[in-house]
């Protein structure tokens, strides 16, 4: 196991092998076997471009050799930051084949987050688009590289071959295939990001064995076959569209992946019609837009058979509208990049699909629902969800202190979610004990924004709370205590200050409110519930 990662105890690993969860197959060997089995079938579609399985495998061979030629060696970490384009898939597998470990950044991340990811992962490379949605990624990468001495290479996806000085166009990461050793399936393959509670995202190591199991098992839950066509609308660097079953699960069965991303509902509907899309995955905010838009569309959506919705709480009201509006089955997904996935099943009745978040994917998932003292709560009562299993991490990368309280002594991961079991054994997410705001499916750590506010504004105290929002589920409100009366930065000023620090757009507060002092709980912590209730009434939008 790569240094800085925590493996499963040997005995547990043996059980997972004996149970057939872990098969000792690397993700790159899977790609090879897909190419053999599905050859000329279409693996990826992007705009007018169609790539067969055989082509994908060959592109990956050339790119892997190219990365080696550009100095990427086994064990290296490379931050992968691309939108939903075929190159994302090619670079992912190429890095794996070169023995390196992709670190998934969000396309929405900016200098502040990327600098952190490069530093904590010890990355030697960064893969970016030249521009995307009007943003100049090269300028950002130059800034990050200046502050990050270990970051040797920046690879740029561009159609014009012109790149900043010292950067490498991705088209030049191309060489005649060389023989490369298969990665060890029990080792880390790549890193996902936690939607975490700490000041900066933690890295989640995912092994070949555990991720191969996840894609295979989730494809089975969704009954995927080679006839399925998956529309990747959510950014594919998220675990949900990448492997639940998403892109990789679809490739595993020989289906076709249509890459969209950032697309508005009507454009997605056009793709559904054109490509005969059979399933997709959405966060509730997008599901809401699709359900509304479906009333007006003239596109034929009849090929859709399954829409997965997850990532944030789906209200039963909206859930009930999905099947009638889109003419297909709804599946609720409650998951996390750390591992555990829960799905409603196609055998569930409508009420279960509308009101619960389903049951764990694997018989190997061990679930505990406990009180504050880690004691099991009575059946049906809400409590903290703890989990361990064949695809749930045992530790974040290089984070021993955080790991000490994020896991129990016997290896259960503390999810920070409050859940209850229904009598039928499904889970219902009741709330969150962790200080994370879920804004339209994006996870925002309150601690991260609070730290930034204190560092870059003239305020003495800062607390970030989520306020209920019709469309996004929650919006963020920065509650501040001014350093001096008469000096109260307003919303545009607060946003500008954070923006100037290179903070991703989605994390900028939606509102700002001022109080004389933050209310405290009896234990002396900021009472965020009381605060949220107070500012929900008084917060000025500052617009
Ligand atoms: C309520 N809260 C939910 C749900 C996730 C599939 C689906 C989602 C994610 C994901 C994922 C929720 N109802 N249905 O990785 O593979 C909240 C919980 C959870 C956190 C995880 C996947 N589905 N959540 O959202 O790592 O609080 O993964 O712990 O981004 O999202 O966030 P993330």
pLDDT, one tens digit per residue, over 213-270 is 999 999 999 999 999 999 999 999 999 999 999 999 999 999 999 999 777 999 999 9
In ligand 1, the atom with minimum distance to the C-alpha of 310 is 14
Q: State the pLDDT at residue 542.
A: 41
pLDDT band at 521 (very low <50, low <70, confident <90, very high): confident
- When pLDDT is averaged across residues 347-373 and rounded to a whole number, the result is 98
Minimum CA distance residue for ligand 1 atom 7 = 335
Cis-peptide, bond into residue 264, ω within 30° of zero: no
By the 10 Å C-beta count (0-12 exposed, 13-18 middle, 19+ buried), 383 is classed as buried
DSSP class of 264: -
Sign of CA dihedral 162, 163, 167, 171: negative
Cα gap 244→342, rounded to integer Å = 10
Cα gap 440→284, rounded to integer Å = 7
Pocket-testing residue among 195, 335, 367, 436, ligand 1, by greatest number of atoms within 8 A of Cβ: 335
- When pLDDT is averaged across residues 441-454 and rounded to a whole number, the result is 94
pLDDT above 70 covers a percentage of the chain that reads 99
Q: State the pLDDT at residue 290.
A: 97
Quick check: CB of 321 below 6 Å from ligand 1?
no
User: Where is average pLDDT lowest: 60-74, 208-222, 511-525?
Assistant: 511-525
What is the ipTM metric for this complex? 0.99
- pLDDT digit string (tens) for 369-397? 999 999 999 989 999 999 999 999 999 99
Quick check: CB of 254 below 6 Å from ligand 1?
no
Cα gap 255→253, rounded to integer Å = 6
pLDDT above 90 for 541? no
- When pLDDT is averaged across residues 349-360 and rounded to a whole number, the result is 98
Which pTM does this prediction carry? 0.96
pLDDT band at 196 (very low <50, low <70, confident <90, very high): confident
User: Nearest-CA neighbor of 413 among 363, 356, 367, 362?
Assistant: 367
Minimum CA distance residue for ligand 1 atom 5 = 311
DSSP class of 372: T
Domains and CATH numbers, the chain: 27-40+52-183 (3.40.50.980), 209-432 (3.40.50.12780), 436-538 (3.30.300.30)
Q: State the pLDDT at residue 420.
A: 97
What separation in angstroms does the CA of 77 have from each of 85, 92, 178, 191, 309?
21, 12, 20, 9, 31
- pLDDT digit string (tens) for 152-185? 999 999 998 799 999 999 999 999 999 999 999 9
Answer yes or no: are the C-beta atoms of 449 and 479 closer than 8 Å: no
pLDDT above 90 covers a percentage of the chain that reads 93
Q: How far from each other are the two terminal CA atoms of the chain, in whole angstroms?
A: 51
Can you give the three-state secondary structure of 312-356, one letter per residue?
CCCCHHHHHHHHHHHCCEEEEEEEECCEEEEECCCCCCHHHHHHC
- pLDDT digit string (tens) for 435-447? 999 999 899 999 9
pLDDT band at 543 (very low <50, low <70, confident <90, very high): very low
Residue 238, token pair as written in the block: 């998220």
Quick check: CB of 331 below 6 Å from ligand 1?
no
- When pLDDT is averaged across residues 402-417 and rounded to a whole number, the result is 97
- For residue 461, the CA-to-ligand 1 centroid distance in Å is 30
pLDDT band at 485 (very low <50, low <70, confident <90, very high): confident
Cα gap 91→156, rounded to integer Å = 11
Cα 114 to the chain's mean position, in Å? 15
- pLDDT digit string (tens) for 329-352? 999 999 999 999 999 999 999 999
């Amino acid at each position: 196991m790569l240094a800085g990662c925590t493996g499963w105890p040997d005995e547990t690993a043996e059980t997972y092998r004996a149970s057939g969860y872990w098969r000792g197959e690397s993700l790159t060997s899977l790609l090879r076997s897909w190419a053999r089995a599905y050859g000329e079938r279409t693996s990826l579609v992007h705009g007018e471009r169609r790539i067969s399985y055989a082509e994908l495998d060959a592109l990956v061979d050339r790119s892997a050799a190219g990365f080696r030629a550009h100095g990427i060696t086994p064990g290296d970490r490379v931050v992968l930051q691309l939108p939903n384009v075929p190159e994302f898939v090619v670079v992912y597998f190429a890095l794996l084949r070169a023995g390196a470990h992709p670190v998934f950044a969000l396309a929405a991340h900016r200098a502040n987050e990327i600098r952190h990811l490069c530093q904590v992962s010890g990355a030697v490379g960064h893969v970016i688009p030249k521009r995307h949605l009007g943003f100049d990624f090269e300028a950002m990468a130059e800034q990050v590289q200046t502050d990050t001495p270990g970051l040797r290479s920046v690879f740029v996806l561009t159609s014009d071959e012109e790149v900043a000085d010292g950067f490498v166009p991705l088209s030049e990461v191309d060489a005649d295939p060389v023989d490369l050793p298969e990665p060890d399936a029990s080792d880390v393959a790549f890193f996902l990001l936690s939607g975490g509670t700490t000041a900066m995202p933690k890295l989640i190591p995912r092994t070949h064995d555990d991720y191969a199991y996840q894609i295979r098992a989730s494809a089975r839950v969704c009954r995927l076959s080679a006839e399925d066509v998956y529309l990747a609308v959510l950014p594919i660097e998220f675990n949900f569209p990448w492997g639940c079953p998403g892109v990789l699960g679809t490739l595993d069965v020989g289906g076709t992946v249509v890459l969209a991303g950032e697309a508005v509902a009507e454009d997605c509907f056009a793709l559904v019609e054109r490509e005969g899309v059979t399933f997709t995955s959405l966060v509730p905010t997008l599901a809401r837009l699709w359900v509304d838009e479906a009333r007006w569309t003239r596109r034929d959506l009849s090929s859709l058979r399954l829409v997965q919705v997850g990532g944030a709480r789906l209200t039963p009201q909206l859930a009930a509208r999905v099947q009638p509006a889109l003419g297909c089955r709804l599946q609720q997904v409650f998951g996390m990049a750390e591992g555990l996935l829960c799905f409603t099943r196609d055998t569930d009745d409508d009420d279960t699909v509308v009101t619960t978040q389903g049951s764990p994917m694997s018989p190997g998932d061990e679930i505990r629902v406990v009180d504050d003292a880690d004691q099991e709560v009575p059946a049906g009562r809400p409590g903290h969800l703890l989990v361990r299993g064949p695809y749930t991490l045992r530790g974040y990368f290089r984070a021993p202190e955080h790991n000490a309280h994020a896991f129990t002594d016997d290896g259960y991961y503390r999810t920070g979610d409050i859940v209850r079991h229904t009598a039928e054994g499904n889970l219902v997410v009741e709330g969150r004990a962790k200080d994370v705001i879920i804004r339209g499916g994006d996870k925002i750590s309150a601690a991260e924004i609070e730290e930034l506010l204190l560092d870059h504004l003239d305020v003495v105290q800062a607390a970030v709370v989520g306020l209920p929002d019709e469309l996004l589920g929650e919006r963020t409100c920065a509650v501040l205590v001014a350093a001096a009366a008469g000096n109260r930065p307003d919303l545009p000023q607060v946003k500008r200050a954070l923006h100037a620090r290179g903070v991703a757009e989605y994390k900028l507060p939606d509102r700002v409110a001022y109080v004389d002092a933050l209310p405290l709980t009896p234990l002396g912590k900021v009472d965020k519930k009381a605060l949220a209730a107070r500012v929900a009434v008084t917060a000025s939008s500052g617009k």
